[in-house]
Copies of this chain bind each other. A is one copy, B any other.
Amino acid sequence: MKRNSRLSLALHTLGHMAGDPERTRTSADIAEHAGTNPVVVRRVLGKLREAGLLTSEKGHAGGWRLARAPEQITLADVYLALDESLVATGATEQVPSCSVEHVLQRKVSSVLEEIELNLIERLAATTIAEVRDTEGVAHT
């Protein structure tokens, strides 16, 4: 698949859930809908649960549900929950040998960080309810 498949899976799943928040869904259901498999779904959704966006329950009638109202979950929440960091600051690994490097790294990093913040800001302006809402939806 692609680079953003986790984010994509998360967004789509939440979008669906926003359409019927009462319903509990199993990872098997979600997986089939997303054309993937239950373990992968649990991996991704697990992160969303850690971030407090979803709840999951084991056992017979268990499964996944939104932890709060769709209007109160933004795309930024999702993005941050799966620490994806599209604009990865990159090579902060090696210690610069000369001062120019040092300054440069700081410089470059600060620019990239600012960009990342800007991105998050944008994402925070949209909720999964909005992502869902556009049409009357009674899917399969």
Contacts and interface: CB of A to CB of B under 8 A. Distances in A.
A11 B19 CA distance: 44
Given A2-B91, A3-B90, A91-B1, A111 B103 contact: no
Given A2-B91, A5-B90, 16 more contacts: A1-B91, A4-B91, A7-B90, A12-B101, A12-B105, A86-B86, A86-B88, A98-B140, A99-B137, A100-B132, A100-B137, A103-B131, A107-B137, A111-B137, A111-B139, A115-B119
A39 interface: no
Contact of A100 (B7, B15, B87): B15
B118 A15 contact: no
Contacts of A59: none
Contacts of A11: 104, 108
Interface string A79-92: 00000001111110
A75 interface: yes
A16 interface: yes
- Central interface residue in A101, A107, A135, A140, by most chain B CB within 10 Å: A107
